[in-house]
Structure 1
Amino acid sequence: MRIRYIFLGVFLAIAPSGYALEVGPPPVLAPLQQQAQAAHLSAQFLTRFSYKPVPLDDALSAKIMNRFIKSLDPDRVLFLQADIDKFMGDSAKIDDAINREDLQIPFSIFNLYEQRVVDRISYARDLLKQNFDFSVQEDYSLLRDKDPWPQSEADSNELWRKRVKSDWLRLKLAGKTDAAIRDTLDKRYENSLERAYKYKSDDVFQSFMDAYTTSIDPHTDYFGATASAEFDISMKLSLVGIGAVLQERDDYTTIRELVPGGPAQLSGKLAVGDRIIGVGQGEDGTVKEVVGTRLDEIVQMIRGAKDSVVRLDILPADAGADGGHRLISLTRDKISLEKQAAQKAILSLKDGDATRKIGVITLPAFYEDFEARRKGDRDYRSASRDVAKLLVELKQDKVDGVLIDLRNNGGGSLTEAIDLTGLFVGKGPVVQQRDAGGKVAIQSDDLPTPAWTGPVGVLINRGSASASEIFAAAIQDYGRGVIVGETSFGKGTVQTVVNLDQVAHNSKPKFGELKLTVAQFFRVDGGTTQLRGVTPDIGLPGLSDPKRFGEASYDNALPWTKVKPANYAPAGNIMALLPQLQSRHDARVQNDQDFQRFEQDIAELKAQREKQVVSLNETERRNELTAQASRLRSREQINDGVDPGEDDGLQADERSLSADIAIENARKSAKDVLLKEAASILADEADLQEAVPKAATRQLGNADGK
């Protein structure tokens, strides 16, 4: 799964042991009538109202089939070629099936997928009974997404033998005994096996709709009821619950973190590591045992209306499986997700005898509480409002410049991107938007004067997308500040969310929501960020692989294009300073040991990523580890967030909770080499901008003296 733990969100839970002794066939899943109706209604919207409508025909059917199969078996280790041949016999029928509200094709594929998971994982567990010979020369392919499908069960068995051998060798190289390795891998495979018994029809439908919508374009999505709720939470940064981060660990739903100020933390009744055994509603509702229940279902049981009561049956962190339980009552309240909100920090940078104070505002997303704003709530939460407050504080702190950190900010509200730009540029056009009919509209901010007129910098990486790119591009086009980092993602399209239940006039939610692309946005200079992204003024090294991450990695991304420039007046002339900024940056990083070591770690990481195969020969692997250890010993180690160190061979949920949290905290406390350098570049900008008026004054004085 893509999500390892959540804030009371969505997760396909790893169930506790229950099928280990006798593995029967997984449940046969069937589509619900409302799912078929939702698919048909979605198709009507997608074929009529998308920015680039794609007809639901045989050609699109084939694409949907390929994407659906890839989503289930991306590494081609489960299905056989005969399975794929059978599936493709129906590849031209999906369009007709959707139109007649029949979802048997994707459900039959998923049911076979479940059976293949059971077969393959059972085989993997059987392999653990034997010993492996690590002296032979053989390799294991790390990337099989373009390899042929196994032709026979024997071919599949050989793939899985190498896969298990690779897992075993990783643990062996980490110093684990054979007995410990068998226990660890058996538990790992058992957890994977039992996941197949926990899928529901909603999971199949969501996977199928994902394949359909992303076949239209990369950013069209379907949200079932649960996914829609999570999207809403992510935008308004709040929910009603108990304020706990939950994670599936060791067969239990476990408290990973308590949110400061939330009901769970304020009660003093819960601690990190406590396990939830049962959940009851109200003061006297029956407590239902939840051991073995999917985490997303437990989440929905714990969430509820504000001021209502939920009762939890708790197995304390330090108690054994047969230890004493305790029953606690908590009153649900509104929880603010402050960790996902804008935050500020101040970096003090020395330059000779001078010290520059750079204010850093980290913005993880362009959030906005749409519902509160629609209702006229004056205090509704939004990214630009939070940043405006932080700018006031930074002014009081007398900072020399403000750096906006948008790394891994995937976007959000378009309105918030416009409003945020206004805080630094003031009144004027920010972005142009072209609809499906070709009409171009210019969207502007109406803030009379900027909230911050001092030096500005924007730090971006490959994960900066959509609204982040609108903001960074506007700052760049206006000449307002320096853009630093990697070339951004390249998402230049606009989506809107359609509530299918409202369209169908359903009294209760059952169809979900459709997020479809309706427009393309363009910079004020007329270009678009689509495909090419925002190119930084000063580039910094990055971790991402542009071939696999970014708009250009999608096979159906819209092309780059342009429209006429908007009528706007530059707010600065950062271009004139760029040669000096680049020169100072080059000289500084050449003598910065931390930066040089960071670049070495990046190079090593990219070299490892490009390896298509890994040796299963123990001597070769130990030699590789020895060489890596020697490289690390040759220099003073820094914790820079790039982890080229020892591999313990474990997955996150296989370590103790304390060890897992310690690793996470170490990453959080790592030296942020790129942030420091971006702040230094902004300090240079402040220095050079101060020098410009002084030079101009001297020239004017000379002219007057003649």
Structure 2
Amino acid sequence: MPGKSLLCIILAFATLIPAAVGAPSKSAPVRIVKPLAPTVAQEEAGVHIREFLLDRHYRKVSPNDSLSVEIFNRYIDILDGRRSYFIAGEVDSLRQLYGNRLDDEFLAGKADAGFAIYNFFVRRAGEKVLFMKNTANTVKFNFTVPDTLDLDRKTDPWPGDRKQLTDLWTKELKYQWLDLKSSGKRERSIRAELVKNLTGRHNLLNRQKPEDAFHAYMTAVTTSFDPHTSYFSHDEFENFQIGLSRSLEGIGARLQSENDYIVVNEVIPGGPAFKSRILKKGDKIIGVGQGKTSEIIDITGWRINDAVGLIRGKKGSIVRLKVLPSSQAGRGAAKIIQLVRDKINLEEEAASKEVIRINGRKIGIIAIPSFYLDFTAQKNKEGNFNSTSRDVLRILGELNAEGVDGIVLDLRDNGGGSLEEAVNVTGLFIPQGPVVQISSSSGRTVVLGDKDVRVLYGGPLAVLVNRYSASASEIVAAAIQDYGRGVIIGERTFGKGTVQSLVNLPDPSVSTSGSSGLGEIKLTMAKFYRISGGSTQHKGVEPDIFMPSMIDTATIGEDTYTSSLPWTTISPSMYQITGEITPETVEFLRQKERDRSSGNLQYQDYLRDLATLDRIRKKKGIVLQDAAFKSEAEEIKKIEKKWGTDREAPKSSLNDVLLTESASVVVDLEERAR
């Protein structure tokens, strides 16, 4: 029902629904003088977004009621993923009005319904903030009584009434209080800090702009097609470009907004965060402080651009981040991380080597943090441009000269990069042949491969991966596995097997070529497939020998996204298996590893600690009592410090354990080949 009639219903609904579902009759706590409405430019952008999604996205979606329901559910989850703003009746009312109508607006390039829902959300968010602020100002909590808060409420029902909702708000406030208390703060300072933080969030709600509503709604629209398709406004795209150029003076991390949090989406190799080994993908940044001593400002609920502006800074300056680590699954006290801002150091990003000795054998370790390539220098035919394959080629020459008995290719935490370099690196270890297949949205399949018949290293080989190994890393691991060229060690990889392209939204009001006045859309347009025919999408690459990391695999990976493209197959490429890693060889290596690791006291100690950490992660609720909260937080801190994932650890002992085990597998492989 497009046109004026729908707009009238929307505006009426934005005003009337609070009373209809039992909201307080008092004046709204957030002063929306004029309801947010889409701008002319945003309506123009909506038309282009619709065209690109329907015409060029890899997933072909019919714009019908099913899409409408998908967008609605996703939008409500974006606004209230923790089920702590709306009550069940309100969600039902919203669904009845909009559940089957958003596809009509999508086809018309409109976002009026999205804005109406967002205006209602802002009012509810304001009520929550004021309630928590008043409670923090007046209530004295009793932390000896049994009380539990569910940290993961994505699958929980919405509260049934206002009392259940305010009870939930009270528990959330108690959790925040306990977190501050665990850091050593006393009641007076805790109360003052909470009130100040909540006041800041309330002020932020009073400063909402049309772009806030449009971005939230467009996120629901684009991610209904797949999780890696997204819309960037002009300002957001400028920040994205800075991240791509890797010239930013800051912490070296790409950030995104997720519900009320600023979340680390990528740690850029060569940056301060990467070198610190502290900040990880999935970590939530909830506070930022400048220098060593200034107060930390709460950034919960901030716009991504405002948060990036606070975190970014001059080279050499200090920034302190208050972080909820992803490894803790939201449990334990927040950490304070201190980083010195700097430019990305390409030498830190480059592939590196070390040699370790196992049972008299020399095993070379080649660590590749990303697949990098200086495209500009390559295009200009400069003689010595940065390239992963060039660096690995040099390292292989050095290791061959040292007479190593085997090599471990370490792709842990490698989130991808240049596809060309992934193909070229694979080619160093295999004869001539295909490496990856790419299927476009048109159905056309292109095969990329190694055209050099030379094998620069033909000895025993292992590839070490973890859950953060994604995209180009998965292509390398999958090809090595399909050829039978090497053994894959670690845990199942991320599962990102899709290809995105940035598309400019044309703005007829701006004549400048290449202008992003209406923003850009990052569009999924193709899919990676292994040469054996299966996609790396969703499933990732399964290791031959499983060695777990401390990553919380329940929260990291393509399979954690509800709209991720499915695993599918196409016809395999023509390639010749080398025969070095047969099923019999894999079983032999597994048995050797089981026998060896069962007698490795340090490794068994690690597995026990990991089991403890997993048990804590899987607990749905957290006990809001002093003793229980402190005990659980201390247990997590002890484990992370012990295995080198805490900033106080002088050395990554976990890294030593996993590299030693991986090198031992290569020794087993070398001995079997004799």
Helix, strand or coil: the match of 1:689?
A: helix
Matched, 1:666 2:648: yes
Task: Spell out the pairing of 1:280-679 with structure 2 (5 A cutoff).
Answer: 294-297=306-309, 335-338=343-346, 341-351=349-359, 354-363=360-369, 365-370=370-375, 373=378, 380-395=385-400, 398-501=403-506, 507=512, 508-571=515-578, 573-575=580-582, 577-618=585-626, 639-641=642-644, 665-666=647-648, 669-673=651-655, 676-679=657-660
Q: Is the counterpart of residue 109 in structure 1 residue 141 in structure 2?
A: no
Matched residue of 1:185: which SS?
A: helix
TM-score when normalising by structure 2: 0.75
Report if aligned partners of 1:274, 1:315 keep a CA contact under 8 Å in 2. Answer: no
Of 76, 94, 101, which residue of structure 2 is paired with 1:69?
A: 76
Distance in structure 2 (CA, Å) of the matches to 1:429 and 1:502: 41
Q: How far apart are the structure 2 equivalents of 1:83 and 1:667?
A: 49
Q: Report the 3-state secondary structure (helix = DSSP H, G, I; strand = E; otherwise coil) of the residue aligned with 1:294.
A: helix
Give the Cα–Cα distance (whole angstroms) in 2 for the partners of residues 512 and 496 of structure 1.
14
Q: Which residue of 2 aligns with 1:100?
A: 108
Cα deviation 1:478-535 (Å, max 9, x = unaligned): 1221110111222333333323339998523213222323233221122222332211
Q: In structure 2, what is the Cα distance between the partners aligned to 1:400 and 1:413?
A: 29
Is the contact between residue 347 and residue 679 of structure 1 (CA under 8 Å) also seen in structure 2?
no
- SS of aligned partner of 1:349: strand
> Are 1:681 and 2:662 an aligned pair?
yes
Say whether the 8 Å CA contact 1:356–1:683 is kept in structure 2.
no
Task: Decide whether the 8 Å contact of 1:430 with 1:443 is kept in 2.
Answer: yes
Determine the structure 1 residue equivalent to 2:169: 160
Supply the AA of the counterpart residue of 1:134: F
Contact 1:401 1:683 in 2 (8 A): no
Alpha-carbon contact 2:530-2:536 (below 8 Å) kept:
yes
CA deviation profile, 1:376-401 (whole Å, cap 9, x unmatched): 55655444344444444544555443
Is the CA contact 1:641–1:671 (under 8 Å) kept in the aligned structure 2?
A: yes
Checking the alignment, whether the CA contact within 8 Å between 1:342 and 1:383 is kept in structure 2 is yes
CA distance in 1, matches of 2:41, 2:519: 10
Stretch moving more, 602-611 or 31-40? 31-40
The reply to whether residue 223 of structure 1 matches residue 232 of structure 2 is yes
Question: In structure 2, what residue type is equivalent to 1:56?
Answer: P
Q: Distance in 2 between matches of 1:506 and 1:377?
A: 34
Letter in 2 for 1:162: K
CA distance in structure 2 between the aligned counterparts of 1:481 and 1:502, rounded to whole angstroms: 50
**Counterpart selection for 1:130 from 134, 139, 161:** 139
CA distance in 2, matches of 1:446, 1:502: 43
Contact in 2 for aligned 1:235/1:368 (Cα 8 Å): no
1:142 equivalent in structure 2:
151
1:180 aligns with 2:189: yes
Worse-matched range after superposition: 584-593 or 497-506: 497-506
* Offset from partner CA, 1:344-391 (integer Å, 9 cap, x none): 24152342xx2524223132x334445555565565544434444444
- For residues 385 and 202 of structure 1, the distance between their equivalents in structure 2, rounded to whole angstroms, comes to 44
Q: 1:502 to 1:440 in 2, by over 3 A?
A: farther
Distance 1:668 1:43 in 2: 52
Distance of aligned partners of 1:190 and 1:452 in 2 relative to their CA distance in 1, 3 Å threshold: farther
Query: Are 1:139 and 1:614, in contact at CA under 8 Å, matched by a contact in 2?
Result: yes
SS at match of 2:50: helix
The residue identity in structure 1 corresponding to 2:462 is G
| CA deviation after TM superposition for structure 1 residue 159, in Å | 0.8
**How many angstroms apart in 2 are the aligned matches of 1:488 and 1:316?**
32
Moved more, 153-162 or 544-553: 544-553
**Residue type of the alignment partner of 1:671:** S
Aligned partner of residue 642 in structure 2, secondary structure? coil
| 1:63 partner SS | helix
Aligned-pair CA distance for 1:470: 1.1
3-state SS of paired residue (1:366): coil
CA-CA distance at 1:26 after TM superposition: 6.1
Match of 1:600, SS?
helix
1:49 correspondence with 2:30: no
SS in structure 1 of the partner of residue 365 of structure 2: strand
SS at structure 2 position matched to 1:346: strand
2:537 and 2:133 map into 1 onto residues whose CA distance is 46
Q: Which residue of 2 aligns with 1:209?
A: 218
CA offset digits 1:73-119 (Å, max 9, x no partner): 21011123344234321233323323434322222333333333332
Closer, same or farther: CA 398–676 of 1 in aligned 2, 3 Å: farther
Q: CA separation in 2, counterparts of 1:422 and 1:98? A: 45
Q: CA deviation at 1:476?
A: 0.7
CA RMSD, Structure 1 to Structure 2 (Å): 4.0
Q: Is the 8 A contact 1:358 1:679 kept in 2?
A: no
Taking the aligned partners of 1:95 and 1:378, their CA distance within structure 2 comes to: 53
Shift of 1:216: 0.9
Matched with 2:43 is 36
Partners of 1:498 and 1:515 within 8 A in 2: yes
Query: Matches of 1:214 and 1:315 in 2, distance apart?
Result: 35
Letter matched to residue 681 of structure 1 = S
Secondary structure of 2:82's counterpart equals: coil
TM-superposed deviation, 1:473:
0.5
Q: Offset at 1:41?
A: 0.8
Counterpart amino acid of residue 654 in structure 2: D
Structure 2 residue identity aligned to 1:294: D
1:185 maps to a residue whose letter is L
Q: Deviations over 1:586-608 (max 9, x none)?
A: 22222222212221221112111
**What percent identity do the matched residue pairs reach?**
32
Whether contact under 8 Å (1:349, 1:680) holds in the other structure is no
Call closer, same or farther: CA 1:45–1:387 in 2, change over 3 Å: same
SS of 1:515's partner is strand
| Residues 452 and 183 of structure 1, relative CA distance in 2, 3 Å threshold | farther
Q: Distance in 2 between matches of 1:70 and 1:367?
A: 36
What does the per-residue CA deviation read over 1:612-631, in whole Å, with 9 as the maximum and x for residues that have no partner?
Answer: 122334465567679x59x9
CA distance in 1, matches of 2:668, 2:318: 59
Secondary structure at the counterpart of residue 216 of structure 1: coil
- Per the alignment, do residues 462 and 182 of structure 1 end up closer, same or farther by CA in structure 2, a change over 3 Å counting? same
How many matched pairs?
Answer: 580
Of 372-381 and 175-184, the range deviating more from structure 2: 372-381
Cα 1:296–1:243, aligned 2, differ >3 Å: closer, same or farther? closer
TM-score calculated relative to the size of structure 1:
0.72
CA, structure 1 residues 624+425, in 2 after alignment: closer, same or farther (shift >3 Å)? closer
Cα distance in 1 for partners of 2:448, 2:427 equals 11
Could you tell me how far 1:474 is from its partner in structure 2? 0.2
The separation in 1 between residues aligned to 2:186 and 2:310, in whole angstroms, is 36
Letter in 1 for 2:306: R
